[in-house]
Copies of this chain bind each other. A is one copy, B any other.
Amino acid sequence: MSDSLIKPQTLKGFRDYLPGAALAREKLTEIAREVYRSYGFSPIDTPALEYSQILLGKGGDESDKQLFRFTDQGERDVAMRFDLTVPFARFAAQHLNDIGTPFKRYHIGTVWRAEKPQRGRYREFMQCDFDTIGTDSNASDIETLLVIHDLMERIGFTAFTIRVNHRKLLNGLLESLGLADKSAAVLRALDKLPKIGADAVTSELTAAAGTSSEQAEKVLAFAGLTGAPEQILTDVEKQLAGNETGLDGVARLRELFDCAAQAGLPSERIALDVSIARGLDYYTGTIYETFLNDLPQIGSVCSGGRYDNLAGLFTRQPLPGVGASLGLDRLLAAMEELGLTGDVSTPAEVLIVFFDANHTGRYMRLGRLLRQSGIAAEVFPQAKALKKQLQYADRKGFRVALIAGDREFADGVWQVKDLQQQEQQTVADDGIVEAVRGILASA
């Protein structure tokens, strides 16, 4: 032990994950992995550090400023990845011959951004992406919708809405209104609709985007279309006045809703929202956002879309693709708010109380027996007062305590304590697994 201690602290904007939070996050990433794999998406990984040149300018000026960037021991200009998309573009270009196309990957990894720290925003966070690249087939767009649906359902949500749109609908409308050259400004204004309302958007359309008030009205009427998907699509077809771009978007969305229904997705979980203009600079086709019906205010928890070309900066081979990203931090916050996470900080359900070091081997043997039966069991590591050990079990969230000393070992029995019901029974050695299973099943 040294005389002057170093203060144990994390950097500003960084945090430790204690067991409760780490268990919740692991549960989410395990579900994501299982769902991605069930569709044939393969894992990949890329380094935390890249040549700065690979990362710079890919996320805009703001993102460049947020890079953790430095010169390494070999005088290389390096930086920590700020997302998983740019490394994936580099990866795809570098390994194209090995991976072939179509290529479906998922990537769950940590990324770093030197953002101004604020509540709920950290400089280190985990992303959880999946993408299909090398094909512009609508089947991949449909599959992306199915994956998002399964993710939400497997996590435990029942009331959620995946809002879908297609960039070509708005592009088609703007073409047919003679506003194609103003689409960036129009989309930027439209993106603010939920926040600032129709009047303010109209002002911005006429002022910043330079539309006529008649054009602005048409754009807003379009963005305001609501109803069942097929009804909206029929309305959109009329407004598009035969525009080819727009009709292609309509056809793709129509196929998406048809196939989703055929595949058995509940129709109330998928909505067509022609006003979504997310990812203005990046997405070119189908767009996805996912909202929890009970917590819409936290924003989209799973978003994505189709893009024309993933890796144009690294290869001349065009790589169209479609994918989405599960928002782990938002989901964890939502699950906590909805009471979907428990107050548990142990992955084990059974605590074997430790009474007497003469019986260590017996405690270990019972632990092993339970594990072989698929029940996670912890042996308390040392003799301490029963009360202390039961406090430990309560604090961590164990469900069952198994207790035995000289007398029980002489009789060939254990005391089996249900920690939730506070009930205790005496059970013979060969009945322990069954007794524990009974308590765990009664939750």
B102 engages A137 (CB within 8 Å): no
| Inter-chain pairs besides A8-B315, A38-B348, 13 sampled, C-beta below 8 Å | A11-B49, A16-B47, A16-B95, A23-B42, A25-B45, A40-B346, A48-B110, A73-B114, A104-B378, A139-B379, A146-B367, A146-B368, A262-B364
The smallest beta-carbon distance between A83 and chain B, in angstroms, is: 15
Given contacts A114-B73, A395-B100, contact A312 B2 (CB under 8 A): yes
Instruction: Find chain B residues with CB under 8 A from A71 CB.
Output: 70
The list of the 4 closest CB pairs from A to B, nearest first, reads A40-B378, A262-B361, A70-B70, A19-B42
Instruction: Find chain B residues with CB under 8 A from A22 CB.
Output: 42-45
Given contacts A6-B53, A41-B347, A255-B360, contact A381 B137 (CB under 8 A): yes
CB of A162 within 8 Å of the partner chain? no
CB of A138 within 8 Å of the partner chain? yes
Q: How far is the CA of A101 from the CA of B404 in the complex (A)?
A: 22
Residue of B nearest to A369 (CB): B264
Given contacts A17-B43, A143-B381, contact A49 B12 (CB under 8 A): no
Interface residues of A in 98-135 (CB under 8 A from B): 98-100, 102, 104-105, 110, 112, 114, 124, 132, 135
CB of A1 within 8 Å of the partner chain? yes
Residue with the highest number of chain B CB atoms closer than 10 Å, among A36, A38, A46, A371: A38
Residue of B nearest to A368 (CB): B263
Instruction: Find chain B residues with CB under 8 A from A286 CB.
Output: none
The smallest beta-carbon distance between A308 and chain B, in angstroms, is: 10
Given contacts A72-B114, A73-B114, A361-B262, contact A15 B47 (CB under 8 A): yes
Q: How far is the CA of A9 from the CA of B378 in the complex (A)?
A: 46
CB of A54 within 8 Å of the partner chain? yes
Instruction: Find chain B residues with CB under 8 A from A437 CB.
Output: none
The smallest beta-carbon distance between A64 and chain B, in angstroms, is: 12
Q: How far is the CA of A160 from the CA of B156 in the complex (A)?
A: 41
Dominant secondary structure at the A interface: mixed
B42 engages A8 (CB within 8 Å): no
B42 engages A347 (CB within 8 Å): yes
CB of A33 within 8 Å of the partner chain? yes
What is the interface residue range for chain A against chain B? 35 or more
Residue of B nearest to A74 (CB): B12
A102 engages B18 (CB within 8 Å): no
B348 engages A37 (CB within 8 Å): yes
Residue of B nearest to A70 (CB): B70
A43 engages B19 (CB within 8 Å): yes
Instruction: Find chain B residues with CB under 8 A from A12 CB.
Output: 74, 76
Query: Which of B40, B95, B315 makes the CB contact (< 8 A) with A5?
Result: B315
Q: How far is the CA of A372 from the CA of B377 in the complex (A)?
A: 30
Query: Which of B10, B38, B43 makes the CB contact (< 8 A) with A23?
Result: B43
CB of A282 within 8 Å of the partner chain? no
Would you give 7 A-B contacts (Cβ < 8 Å), ordered by A?
A: A1-B309, A8-B314, A22-B42, A39-B376, A48-B80, A68-B72, A263-B368
Q: How far is the CA of A238 from the CA of B362 in the complex (A)?
A: 30
The smallest beta-carbon distance between A100 and chain B, in angstroms, is: 7
B312 engages A1 (CB within 8 Å): yes
The smallest beta-carbon distance between A86 and chain B, in angstroms, is: 11
Query: Which of B38, B312, B377 makes the CB contact (< 8 A) with A371?
Result: B38
A40 engages B377 (CB within 8 Å): yes
B112 engages A54 (CB within 8 Å): no
Given contacts A74-B12, A110-B48, contact A263 B40 (CB under 8 A): no
